[in-house]
Structure 1
Amino acid sequence: MAYTVGEMARRLGVPASTIRYYDKEGLLPFVGRSSGGIRVFTEKDFEWLRIIECLKKTGMSLKDIREYIELAMQGDETIARRLALFRKQRTVLETRMAELQQTMDTLDYKCWFYETAAAHGSTEGISDLPDEALPEALRPVRERLRAAAEAETEEV
C-alpha cells in the first residue's frame, strides 16, 4: 500500500512538515516518488520513519541519523559502525536519564518540603528538620542539594 506525506504523518503522529523536513535534510533517500514527483511512502518507509523518530527522541543529531541511514543502505559491511552509533547514543541517553532522575528527585524533595510547610503553616524550620523527619528516599536528595549549595558558596 502507498501513502502520501499527510497519511504517513498522521500514522506517525507528527506534522507533515516534519516529514518534508526529514526529506530536505537527506534522511529519506529510500522514499520513492510518483511520475509527478510526489513522495510515495510504503510500509517499509513507515518503519524507517519510526526509527528516525526514535533516534530523534534519544537526542541523536540529524547528522548522525543521516550517517546511520547511509550506513544501513550500504549493507551488512557496515554493521559494526551502526552498532557503534547505537552504543554511543545509548550512553548519551543513559546520561540524560540519570540527569532527569536527579531532577525528579529534586522535585520530589520540593513537593515534600512544601507539603510539610503547608501542614505547619510556614516554611520556617523545615530545612532544619532532622533526617528522621524526612522520608528515607529523600534524605540523600537533601544532602546532595545542601552539598551543591555549599559548593556554590565556596566558589563565590
Structure 2
Amino acid sequence: MNISKASEETQVSADTIRYYERIGLIPPVQRNENGVRNFTEEDLNWITFSRHMRSAGLSIESLIDYLTLFREGDQTIPARMELLKEQKKLLEDKIAAMQGVLERLDYKIENYDNHMVPKEKQLKNFD
C-alpha cells in the first residue's frame, strides 16, 4: 500500500511516517520500480508500535535507544525495562511539576481580588 493508505491505517501523518523512516524508528520501507514506498503489514506494525511508544511519553531519543536495544536481542530486555522505568520517572516528575503550576494558578484565581488586583496595581502601563 502507498503512504497515504498507510497513514490512514495507522493514524500517523505521511510526514511523520517519512520522518520515522529517516531517523530509524521504522525500518526502511521497500519501494516499487517508480521509487514509491510500498508498505507491508509489518511496516504498519512498526509505525503503530512507534506511535504507541511516543504516545506513552517516550522521547524520540529514548525510543531510538529502545529500538537499538531491541535489535540487539532478548538479552537486552532488562535494559529495555530500565529505559521504560526511567521514562516513567521523567513523566512522573513532569506531572508533579505541572500539578504545582496548576495549584499556583488555582490560587491566583481563587484569590484574584486579594492577590492579583493589588499586584496588577503595582505594574506600570506599557504606554
| TM-score in terms of structure 2 length | 0.70
Q: How many residues of Structure 1 are paired with residues of Structure 2 in the alignment?
A: 113
Q: Aligned AA for 2:71? A: M
- Taking a change above 3 Å as real, the CA distance of residues 70 and 41 of structure 1, as seen in their structure-2 partners, is farther
- Taking a change above 3 Å as real, the CA distance of residues 32 and 13 of structure 1, as seen in their structure-2 partners, is closer
Aligned with 1:111 (options 109, 112, 116): 109
**Identity of matched residues, %:** 31
| TM-score in terms of structure 1 length | 0.59
SS at match of 2:111: helix
Counterpart residue number, 1:45: 43
Q: Based on CA coordinates, which of the two structures has the bigger radius of gyration?
A: 1
How do residues 109-148 of structure 1 correspond to structure 2 at under 5 angstroms? Answer: 109-114=107-112, 123=113, 126-127=114-115
- Taking a change above 3 Å as real, the CA distance of residues 109 and 50 of structure 1, as seen in their structure-2 partners, is farther
Higher RCO structure (Cα 8 Å, ≥6 apart): 2
**1:50-79 C-alpha deviation (Å, 9 max, x unpaired):** 33234434252x332122112223321110
**1:75-134 C-alpha deviation (Å, 9 max, x unpaired):** 2111011111111111111111111111222232233234xxxxxxxx2xx23xxxxxxx
Counterpart residue number, 2:86: 88
Q: Which runs of 5+ in 2 are unaligned?
A: 116-127
Distance 1:100 1:13 in 2: 28
- Conservation of the 8 A alpha-carbon contact between 2:2 and 2:37: yes
**1:124-151 C-alpha deviation (Å, 9 max, x unpaired):** xx23xxxxxxxxxxxxxxxxxxxxxxxx
